[in-house]
Amino acid sequence: MKLATLRTGENSTTAALAVGTETYLPLPYSNVGTLLADSGWRKVVKAAVNAAPTGDGAVTASADCLAPLLPTAGKVICCGLNYGDHILEMGRDLPEYPTLFAKYADTLTGATDTIDVYGSERVDWEAELAVVVGSRLFQADESQAQAAIAGYTVANDVSMRDWQNRTLQWFQGKAFDATTPVGPVMLTSDEAGSSFEVKGYVNGELVQSGNTATLVFGPAQLLSYISQFTVLRPGDLVLTGTPGGVGMGMKPPRFLRDGDVLTTEIAGIGSLQNIVHIHQPGASESRTPAAATSTKE
Amino acid sequence: MKLATLRTGENSTTAALAVGTETYLPLPYSNVGTLLADSGWRKVVKAAVNAAPTGDGAVTASADCLAPLLPTAGKVICCGLNYGDHILEMGRDLPEYPTLFAKYADTLTGATDTIDVYGSERVDWEAELAVVVGSRLFQADESQAQAAIAGYTVANDVSMRDWQNRTLQWFQGKAFDATTPVGPVMLTSDEAGSSFEVKGYVNGELVQSGNTATLVFGPAQLLSYISQFTVLRPGDLVLTGTPGGVGMGMKPPRFLRDGDVLTTEIAGIGSLQNIVHIHQPGASESRTPAAATSTKE
């Protein structure tokens, strides 16, 4: 099953089950996070499917209706340096422990939303598999962690390298509001294979490609490790790190320019497509409806 | 004015105004965070005072009734390396930018609660002034940030140095659930002076002492800086860093032992007093009511 959070009005959203191309069955929860907070969420989804065997009640929603998948995520915890090839690219050794840092739900944005960046000139990409927590986890072992995975989604840990590298701690370059797209859907764990191909494109050019089979710390291992010190709850999100091919690692380094289109794709889940709008300091510009519309073209 | 969050039952709390030693006037909000979320919170508090000029309705509550001050904090953002003397102690240069990292509300605990630590053998102290956000801030200048400060409180950024130093990113050593005591009260900004004396004690021995006048980045500067990339909301918390005297900086390094009493004091605000319970791996131990009671002696 694939679950999404759809915009239904200016300030309203609904959780929904994807039943076809741009066709969704609305569920009686405001978003995927609040759905997952109901421990009977799998039954809720199945009951909705059974109640609409011929697709009654399904709605058509274009890609620009995709709201941030998990707007209520209490924790968004990211792992850096988790693909062997990316680690070598950054000039580091394979790690004994996962390198973790935090974001907040405010950092997240929708699968086709424009990413507005203010105050950074070194905006870089990091295509990632993200794991959605489906039940409460604390001091869990790996098999408990595996069982607590609700599903998988696509994320891009867009990073402001100038801010990230101002100090030893990456947080400030990783937590710009509404800069980490997540979605378009969460693929439930029961339908997921054991690994995913993660690809990142800039203006259609493939810049990143990796397979999560090569992760140093896999999804269950990460959730188990994190749960040793902090509780994870339904709707929390863990980003698993990015494969080689980030702009900072190129020679010379390459960063996103205003208007670039960032595409992040995981076969079997879906893809994010986000225009990056880099606002120049002092420029008298604003987001116009036209510009917002153009992100979906 | 001094505001607190009091335990009123096993799972219930109330915001309250401190009106005397262990005497509080309850306010119609579940905690200080939800109170601050009401933009008219100053008027609410004054109306409660005016309605009870002779102390009618005030209740007596001992120190062990102090619940985590801001259990609903959406963001808890910390600055490291912010006192000149601590920076030199750690062998680093004075910074151009604040070093920031994140915690979650789960990391917080009450002013007299036992701090239970599982899985760390290098538990260290960091006495700090914490700033409570009182109104929404985004891309604010320093004067706007100053005006948005609701008040000040005492915190101890208790740090698991073994986990903190496992990787380049400190987060995992800083985000153990229920290990950062905050309180006992928030002193409103209108009654605060321009600087505070921050002191930390272990078993009554003074180990840290600093004055926030020597902060490299002061409260308003930190809030303004953070607001450039992420919105701050009422009830969010910013920890301003710790002065010299942490255990890791001692020769030889010194860490907390099971049963140590950590006292964190800021004159004019109040003090935290927390017993530290370091759980050995595999030990068949549990928190007993007796142990919990002893933390208040």
Q: How confident is the model at residue A287 (pLDDT cuts 50, 70, 90)?
A: very low
User: What is the number of CB-based contacts under 8 A between chain A and chain B?
Assistant: 99
What is this model's ipTM?
0.93
For residue A296, pLDDT beyond 50:
no
The neighbouring-strand residues paired with B5 are B15
How much is the pLDDT for B93?
84
Query: Within this chain, do residues A193 and A273 fall inside the same structural domain, yes or no?
Result: yes
In this structure, the answer to whether residues A38 and A170 fall within a common structural domain is no
| A290, pLDDT greater than 50 | no
Using a CB-CB cut-off of 8 Å, the residues of chain A touching B93 are none
Q: How far is A138 from chain B (nearest CA, A)?
A: 10
Residues whose CB falls within 8 Å of the CB of residue A291, separated by 6 or more in sequence, listed in order: A114, A277
Among candidates B100, B163, B170 on the partner chain, residue whose Cβ is nearest the Cβ of A172: B100
Confidence tier at A286 by pLDDT (50, 70, 90): very low
**A57 and A96 together in one domain:** no
Contact A166 B96 (CB under 8 A): yes
List the single residue in A with minimal CA-CA distance to B226.
A172
pLDDT at B288: 40
- Same domain (yes/no): A86, A189: yes
If asked whether residues B100 and B52 sit together in one domain, one would say no
When pLDDT is cut at 50, 70 and 90, the band that residue A275 belongs to is very high
Q: Give A202→chain B minimum CA distance, Å.
A: 24
**Boundary (domain end) residue, out of A37, A65, A93:** A65
Give residue B141's pLDDT. Answer: 98
Q: Min CA distance, B227 vs chain A (Å)?
A: 10
Residue B46 tokens read as 């004054």
- C-beta separation of B24 from B57 below 8 A: no
Q: How many residues does chain B have?
A: 297
Please check whether residues A278 and A250 belong to one and the same domain.
yes
Would you say A273 and A111 are in contact if contact means Cβ atoms under 8 Å apart? yes
| Average pLDDT score, chain A | 92
pLDDT at residue number A94:
87
* pLDDT band at A91; cut points 50, 70, 90: confident
Per-residue pLDDT averaged across B59-82, rounded?
A: 95
Domain annotation covers residue A71: no
B252 and B284 belong to one structural domain: yes
Most A-contacting residue of B172, B176, B239, B279 (CB-CB within 10 A), to test interface: B172
Q: Give the model's pLDDT for residue A36.
A: 98
- B169:A169 CB<8 A: yes
Q: Poorest-confidence range of A12-16, A92-96, B257-261, B262-266?
A: A92-96
Facing B230 at nearest CB: one of A77, A106, A229: A106
CATH code for the domain of A96:
3.90.850.10
Say yes or no: B244 and B152 in one domain. yes
Q: Within a domain: residue A70?
A: no
Rounded to 5 degrees, φ, ψ at B192 are -90, 145
- Summarize the confidence of residues A148-163 as an average pLDDT: 98
Q: How high is the pLDDT of residue B127? A: 98
Which chain A residue is nearest to residue B120, measuring alpha carbons?
A: A229
Cross-strand bridge partners of residue B152: B131, B187
- Asked if A228's CB is within 8 angstroms of B119's CB, the reply is yes
For position B57, what pLDDT does the model report? 86
In chain A, the residue whose alpha carbon lies closest to the alpha carbon of B162 is: A97
B286 pLDDT above the threshold of 70:
no
A100: nearest CB among B106, B172, B231: B172
- What single-letter amino acid sits at A265? E
Across the interface, of B80, B118, B230, the residue whose CB is closest to A177 is B230
User: pLDDT (tens digit, 9 = 90+) per residue, B132-161?
Assistant: 999 999 999 999 999 999 999 999 999 999
Q: Per the domain annotation, does A210 fall within a domain?
A: yes
Domain membership of residue B182 (yes or no) is: yes
Question: What average pLDDT is seen over chain B?
Answer: 92
Residue B6 has pLDDT above 90, yes or no: yes
Q: Is A215 helix (H, G, I), strand (E, B) or coil?
A: strand
Task: Look at residue A268 in the predicted model and tell me its pLDDT.
Answer: 97
Does the beta-carbon distance from B169 to A101 stay under 8 Å? yes
Question: Do A36 and A107 belong to one domain?
Answer: no
Is the pLDDT score of A291 beyond 70? Answer: no
Give me the pLDDT at residue A92, please: 78
Say yes or no to pLDDT of B292 above 50: no
Q: What is the pLDDT of residue B252?
A: 96
Write down the pLDDT at residue B283: 59
What pLDDT is stored for residue B53 in this prediction?
76
Task: Examine the domain organization and report whether B144 and B183 are in the same domain.
Answer: yes
A176-219 pLDDT, tens digit per residue, is 999 999 999 999 999 999 999 999 999 999 999 999 999 999 99
Q: What's the CA gap between B228 and A282, in Å, rounded? A: 14
Does some domain include residue A280? yes
Give mean pLDDT, residues B178-207. Answer: 97
Q: Name which of A74, A176, A229 is nearest B163 (Cβ-Cβ).
A: A229
The per-residue DSSP string of chain B comes to: -EEEEEEEETTEEEEEEEEETTEEEE-SSSSHHHHHTSTTHHHHHHHHHHH-TT-TT-EE--GGGB--S-TT-S-EEEEES-BHHHHHHTT-PPPSS-EEEEE-GGGEE-TT--EEEES-S-EE--EEEEEEE-S-BSS--HHHHHHTEEEEEEEE--EEHHHHTSSS--HHHH--TT-EEEEEEEEEGGG--S--EEEEEETTEEEEEEEGGGBSS-HHHHHHHHHTTS-B-TT-EEE----S--GGGSSS-----TT-EEEEEETTTEEEEEEEEEEPTT------HHHHHHTT-
CB contact under 8 A, B230 and A97: no
Residue B71 lies in a domain: no
Q: Residue A186: what residue type?
A: M
**DSSP assignment, residue A103?**
E
CB contact under 8 A, B229 and A163: yes
Determine the average pLDDT of the residues in A8-25: 93
Distance CA B244, CA B265 (A): 15
Position A280 scores a pLDDT of 85
Pairing of strands A99-103, A108-109: unpaired
Domain count along chain A: 2
Contact A168 B167 (CB under 8 A): no
Test mutation, B229, B231, B233, chain A, max A CBs within 10 A: B229
Residue B70, domain member (yes or no) = no
How many angstroms separate the CA of residue A81 from the nearest CA in chain B? 10
Q: How confident is the model at residue A248 (pLDDT cuts 50, 70, 90)?
A: very high
Q: Is residue B33 part of a domain?
A: yes
Provide the pLDDT confidence category of residue B289 given band limits of 50, 70 and 90: very low
* A294 pLDDT higher than 50: no
Tell me: pLDDT of A289 over 80. Answer: no
Please tell me whether residues B102 and B133 are part of one structural domain.
Answer: yes
Q: Do A60 and A171 belong to one domain?
A: no
Q: Span A269-288, mean pLDDT?
A: 79
Number of C-alpha atoms within 13 angstroms, CB side, residue A55? 8
Q: Does pLDDT of A245 surpass 90?
A: yes
CB A113 within 8 A of CB A134: no
Find the CB nearest A169 among B75, B80, B106: B80
* Residues A104, B167: C-beta atoms closer than 8 Å: no
**Nearest chain B Cα distance for residue A174, angstroms:** 9
Contacting residues for A165 by C-beta, under 8 A, at least 6 apart: A173
CB contact under 8 A, B230 and A104: yes
Q: Give the minimum alpha-carbon distance from A163 to chain B in angstroms, rounded to a whole number.
A: 9
Between these two residues, A292 and B105, which has the higher pLDDT value? B105
Q: Does the pLDDT at position A149 exceed 80?
A: yes
Residues in chain B with CB shorter than 8 Å from the CB of A107 are 230
Q: What pLDDT digit, counting tens, does each position of B204-254 carry?
A: 999 999 999 999 999 999 999 999 999 999 999 999 999 999 999 899 999
Given A46, A65, A84, the domain boundary residue is A65
pLDDT attached to residue A62: 93
Given pLDDT bands bounded at 50, 70 and 90, which one contains residue B297?
very low
Residue B191 sits at the vertex; the CA angle it makes with B150 and B193, to the nearest 5 degrees, is 100
Q: Of B96, B99, B166, which is closest to A169 when you measure between CB atoms?
A: B99
DSSP-assigned letter for residue A94: P
In this structure, what token pair is assigned to residue B163? 């986990």
Q: Of A65, A90, A110, which residue is a domain's last?
A: A65
- Taking an 8 Å cut-off on Cβ atoms, the answer to whether B169 and A231 are in contact is no
Share of chain A above pLDDT 70, in %: 93
Contact A168 B228 (CB under 8 A): no
Q: Which domain holds residue A21?
A: 2-65
* Whether A167 and B95 lie within 8 Å, measured CB to CB: yes
Write out the two tokens for B50: 């005016």
